[in-house]
Amino acid sequence: MYSVLLPIHIAFVGVWLGCVITEALFERALLGKGREQELSLVALHKRVDLVVEIPAFVVVLITGLMMYPVSSITGLIHAKIAFGLVAIAVNAYCVWLVFKRATAATTDNWDEFTRLDHKQHKYGAIVLIAIIVALCIGIYAYAGGM
């Protein structure tokens, strides 16, 4: 089972990481370009979260949980798991922020939009860093560095 789950896990980590980077790029492209573009941004970001990002990190969590009992667990793997769980938890919070920010934008509460936007980007950076660190540890560990 482990040999089937690991490639699925890695593929969905890639999808998740690619999604986070893509979202950062369209945030940079549309944010601050006017209210119409920001309304488009919040709608786009919500859709991407629902269709790509949430399913990706849920599959990463489920496959990780399924592999845990059959893995050789070392301190390095515990560190990878910890960074992965931080990324998932903070990403779930970011999804909530994305939805709150969208509500603020669609109700013309632009001060709240700005506050939530700053918070979302701050926590989004934590997600990106945690995913990259977990991925690097995993590559190192599975490449024979354990």
Q: Which domain holds residue 65?
A: 2-145
pLDDT of residue 145: 55
pLDDT of residue 117: 97
Q: Tell me, what DSSP letter sits at residue 69? A: G
How remote is the C-alpha of 85 from its chain's centroid? 11
Residue range 113-141, pLDDT digits in tens: 999 999 999 999 999 999 999 999 999 98
Q: How many distinct structural domains can be found in the chain?
A: 1
Residue range 86-114, pLDDT digits in tens: 999 999 999 999 999 999 999 999 999 99
Assign 1 a pLDDT band (cuts: 50, 70, 90).
low
Is pLDDT at 146 greater than 80 in this prediction?
no
Residues contacting residue 44 through CB under 8 Å, at least 6 positions apart: 26, 30
Residue range 48-68, pLDDT digits in tens: 999 999 999 999 999 999 999
70-96 burial, b at 16+ Cβ within 10 Å, e below that, comes to eeeeeeebeebbebbebbbebbebbbe
Residue in 49, 48, 26 with CA at minimum distance from that of residue 38:
26
Residue in 12, 129, 108, 120 with CA at minimum distance from that of residue 59:
12
Q: Give just the sign of the alpha carbon dihedral 19, 22, 26, 27.
A: positive
